[in-house]
Structure 1
Amino acid sequence: MTTRRGNRHWASVTFEIFFRNVTSSSRKLQSSQYSSLGKYPVIDQGEKEIGGYTNDETLVHPGPLPVVIFGDHTRCVKFASAPFVQGADGVKILAPARSLHARYAYWALKATELQNKGYARHYSLLRKLSFPLPPKPEQVRLVDAIESYLTRLDETVATLERVQRNLKRYRASVLKAAVEGRLVPTEAELARAEKRDYEPASELLKRILVERRRRWEEAELAKMKASGKTPKDDKWKAKYEEPAPPNTASLPKLPEGWCWASMNQLADIGTGATPNRSDKKYWIDGSVPWVTSAVVNAGLVTQPSAFVTQAALNETNLTLYPPGTLLVAMYGEGQTRGRCAELRISATTNQALAAITLHSTANLLRRWLLLFMQHNYLALRRTASGGVQPNLNLSIVRAIQVPLPPLCEQTRIADRAEQALSVASAADATTNGIQVRSNRLRQSVLKWAFEGKLVDQDPNDEPASVLLDRIRAERAAPQSNTSAKKPRRTSRNA
């Protein structure tokens, strides 16, 4: 037997030759009526193969099976070979020509590239397309090859997804061990073993608070000097508001040498604004970097979202934050809220970001705070308040309860954690790359299949032209409209 590849002996046929639309206008179930269990699966235009279940026999698709399901809005393509119920609006049920291999018709539609019109309808575009028609035996070989290749690709992707889930758990366990003092020996343990003293975190916190008050006093004196005032005594110092410490009554016990601190004790917490977009003097020819909450997803902020002018900085509630500032998204799309990133440039922010600015000794806490904020991400999100879209606010950020280790221990923890997390990130990048290549290979398999390059052709196969004549004869024969009427609902089958 001689073989050849290519589609020179194939035919090209219209949508109406390939499929017949047998969608019912009455036999369909609204999504609000889906059940989690039932005798019959409900197939709709969603991403899931099965949208839900029902026991209502009167809604079961009455026509011959198998059929192909097309999502008019979503462009999802599904295959149904067992009794099912049609989902609500947007579902098209397509019966392949009887002489076609039904799975071939499914894969041919699956491989079709339709223009994405968003949530608009796509069926009118589908009806204008042509489909390749190989001989029937070659359709069988193509389906076997496609499903063999894609099954192996699916197994690879499933393995990669398991690896990614394990990496996620590994990262979480590293961060949890870090903030609980289990990742490296504690400073107290080392000091005992080495018979030396060490500075506990409580002393570190005292130094930070002394520096915090001194900065406030220096700023107040500068304001008085600028206004031509000279203080006669120290009564003005009484205006200083000591940041509230955390309530430790319900907090877990920390390792020896650690202490609890509020974020407000460790840093200055501020935010920004969005200058009036209609005021051109705030935006045209701007040179001052300005960032929005979307930047936190990158981890490190090295590029601005936009630029504002010096007038915007002078006249609105903007503050220019220095490199090293930690940015926390107080609200944003998807998983953005609660994420923390380090600012690597001088920049202003919009009002959706809380800026955590560290000074003097507190500057040394930056790596530790970044690790803690990564671990605290989900807990912080749960503290959000509001209605449909809960948000964080500056009060919540200031009140974040931070476990504080001694300074030397922070450095050792950060070194070990960053090393472990970098290994996990490298593995994650590798799996993501393999997933991308797997998706491309999936598209290539379908492309080769319908270009006649995936399997050999057999010259002894019945020609596609003969198959096409048979399909046309079937189409010309009268069709019984099995889905036109909905069976009368009775108390028994209800």
Structure 2
Amino acid sequence: MLSVYRSHGVIKKSSRDDNTNQTAENRSIYQLVDEGWLIVNRMKSWQGSVGISPLRGIVSGHYLCFRPNHNEDPRFLNWLLRSPVYTVEYMRMSRGVRPGQVEIDNDELRHLQISLPPLDEQRRVADFLDAETARIDQTAALQEAARATLLERRATAVFSAVTGMSFQDRIPSTLAWVRTLPAHWHGIKLGHVARMGSGHTPSRSKPEWWEDCSIPWITTGEVSQVRDDRREFLTETRERISELGMANSSAELHPKGTVVLCRTASAGYSAVMGEAMATSQDFVTWICGPRLDPLYLLWCLRAMRSDLLGRLAMGSTHKTIYVPDLQMLRIPLPPIQEQQQIVESIHTNNKAVDAAVDVIDRQLSLLAERRQALITAAVTGQLDVTSADCSTSSGGIA
């Protein structure tokens, strides 16, 4: 099985663990392709899901496949047809009802004009880009590894803070995700110190419930805002709902400061509402009582995410944490003043880590821009690869 990736081109599907599309048992609808074939994801070509296959294999029946009838260098064609110049052209040729749901037509795509240098120059360009992008990718991989290490240390510091690892006097824990707790802390059922709630999705057939509305409505689309645990508060939502929609459903308006946890798609991610909001049924919420600080609860939920997913999440493809299991959650509970001190210490540590992560993110962005600019210049003849100084082409960014 082969897949087309925006960042990698045509690759073995089994070489990646982030492709959740299931292979059909009946493969009669799949297409057999060989080395050198052009494979196009008709719905995502405008995002760069195009490539010359370096492998023999089978692909989705929804892909467009072109058998080669030429003697061009397949590596050059792969660089050319995946370059930003052609990605823009795929967008121009795609048609659809709304942005993000467009597809390219086979008959129009096969008439796409391409600009080809002589074969020997194609090979020189391909050799140059193979070498230079490999160097940039190696530098980016080192930066990504450094970023991952920083975030791992950040998570370890959070876990240590919310479980009181700095205290020597400890007792056995009643929590599933930590063995011991400070002697003056308690392991307590979350429902004893916070009121749990949930959400609901009103009917989509009532446009007046969804158009020009004022109440922020949280969906799984907001999960991207809290990845890497670098944001605590949700302040913006993609969708809003009306008071009428709320009144005609079991949806509930949760007050500012409510802690929210996603339990389906991207299960385990959590945040604090920055203003009064409603949620879909994909979430559970907690309104904290006087003994529990919302930000302390947030960091507890983030510290126990791996336990939530490993012990409670069900499903092979799309993980789901069920409400009855969440009703039984237990957390460590120090005195409220100590909770606030823990939150402050986490903020201090995270601020230093996040500053370092921001530097890496800027470097990665520059590397990506450099890579794209290099590809475009090389395949369009703006860069003479025979005279390019490969020894310094990416050094200024690294």
TM-score (normalised: structure 1): 0.58
Deviation track 1:201-241 (CA, whole Å, cap 9, x = no partner) reads 9xxxxxxxxxxxxxxxxxxxxxxxxxxxxxxxxxxxxxxxx
2 CA distance for matches of 1:137 and 1:386? 52
2:390 maps to what in 1? none
1:108 lines up with 2:37 in the alignment: no
Residue 185 of structure 2 aligns with an amino acid whose one-letter code is: W
Q: Please give the residue correspondences for 1:289-308 in structure 2 after superposition, counting only pairs within 5 Å.
A: 289-298=216-225, 299-308=232-241
Q: Which moved more, 1:288-297 or 1:154-163?
A: 288-297
Instruction: Choose between structure 1 and 2 for higher RCO, CA contacts under 8 A separated by at least 6 residues.
Output: 1
In structure 2, which of residues 250, 254, 278 is the aligned counterpart of residue 348 of structure 1?
Answer: 278
Partner residue, 2:301: 373
Match of 1:269 among 196, 204, 207: 196
Aligned to 2:156: 173
Distance, in Å, in 1 between the alignment partners of 2:111 and 2:176 is: 70
2:364 to 419, 432, 435: 435
In 2: Cα distance, 1:437 partner to 1:350 partner: 37
C-alpha contact 1:68 1:106 (8 A) present in aligned 2: no
Contact 1:282/1:311 (<8 A) preserved: yes
Q: Residue 372 and residue 130 in structure 1: after superposition, are their counterparts in 2 closer, same or farther (change >3 A)? A: same
Over the aligned positions, Cα root-mean-square deviation in angstroms equals: 3.9
Q: What is the rounded CA distance, in whole Å, between the counterparts of 2:343 and 2:78 in structure 1?
A: 53
Deviation (angstroms), 1:140: 4.7
Q: Secondary structure at the match of 1:131?
A: coil
Write out aligned runs for 1:390-469 (5 A).
Answer: 390-455=319-384
**Please, which moves more after superposition, 435-444 or 128-137?**
128-137
The structure 1 residue matched to 2:290, chosen from 360, 374, 380, is 360
**Cα gap change, 1:167/1:124 in structure 2, threshold over 3 Å: closer, same or farther?**
farther
How far apart are residue 107 of structure 1 and its match? 3.2
Over 3 Å counting, the alpha-carbon distance change for 1:370 and 1:125 in structure 2 is same
- Matched with 2:23 is none
Amino acid in the other structure paired with 2:233:
L
Q: Which residue of 2 aligns with 1:319?
A: 252
Which one is further off, 264-273 or 312-321? 312-321
Q: How far did residue 345 of structure 1 move? A: 0.6
2:58 is matched with 87
Q: How does 1:21-32 map to 2 (within 5 A)?
A: 31=1
Q: Work out which of the two has the higher radius of gyration on C-alpha atoms and give 1 or 2.
A: 1
Deviations 1:120-163 (A, max 9, x none): 67765553233334345544543343334322211222112212
Q: Is the 8 A contact 2:125 2:385 kept in 1?
A: no
- Partners of 2:10 and 2:39 within 8 A in 1: no
1:161 is matched with 144
Distance 2:78 2:245 in 1: 58
2:262/2:268 contact within 8 Å kept: yes
Q: Is the 8 A contact 1:296 1:328 kept in 2?
A: no
- For 1:367, the aligned partner's letter is L
Aligned partner of 2:37 in structure 1 is 69
- Which residue type is aligned with residue 107 of structure 1? W
Aligned to 2:394: none
- Counting only pairs closer than 5 Å after superposition, residues 477-488 of structure 1 correspond to structure 2 as none
The amino acid of 1:368's aligned partner reads: Y
Amino acid at match of 1:167: L
8 Å CA contact 1:367, 1:414 repeated in 2:
yes
Identity of aligned residues (%): 21
- 1:413-433 Cα shifts (integer Å, max 9, x gaps): 322222222333333333333
CA contact (8 A) 1:330 1:354 kept: yes
* Contact 1:68 1:95 (C-alpha < 8 Å) held by counterparts: no
Letter in 2 for 1:317: S
Distance 2:288 2:248 in 1: 25
Q: 8 Å contact 2:202–2:248 — kept in the other structure?
A: no
Q: Residues 251 and 93 from structure 1, CA distance in 2 versus in 1: closer, same or farther, beyond 3 angstroms?
A: same
CA contact (8 A) 1:270 1:394 kept: no
Instruction: Tell me the distance in 1 between the aligned counterparts of 2:121 and 2:176.
Output: 74
Distance 1:330 1:171 in 2: 23
Equivalent residue letter for 1:377: R
Structure 1: stretches of 5+ with no match in the other structure: 1-30, 32-42, 54-60, 190-200, 202-245, 459-494
Secondary structure in 1 aligned to 2:135? helix
Higher strand share: 2
* Equivalent residues of 2:197, 2:285 under 8 A apart: yes
Q: Distance in 1 between matches of 2:134 and 2:256?
A: 49
Residue 279 of structure 1 deviates from its aligned partner by: 4.4
Aligned partner of 2:11 in structure 1 is 49
**In 2, Cα distance between the equivalents of 1:250 and 1:454?**
56
Amino acid corresponding to residue 432 of structure 1 in structure 2 = D
Amino acid at match of 1:145: F
Letter paired with 1:348: A
When residues 250 and 412 of structure 1 are mapped into structure 2, their CA distance, relative to the original with a 3 A threshold, is: closer
CA contact (8 A) 2:210 2:241 kept: yes
SS of residue matched to 1:49 = strand
Distance 1:389 1:343 in 2: 25
Distance 1:52 1:308, change over 3 A: closer
Q: CA deviation at 1:447?
A: 1.7
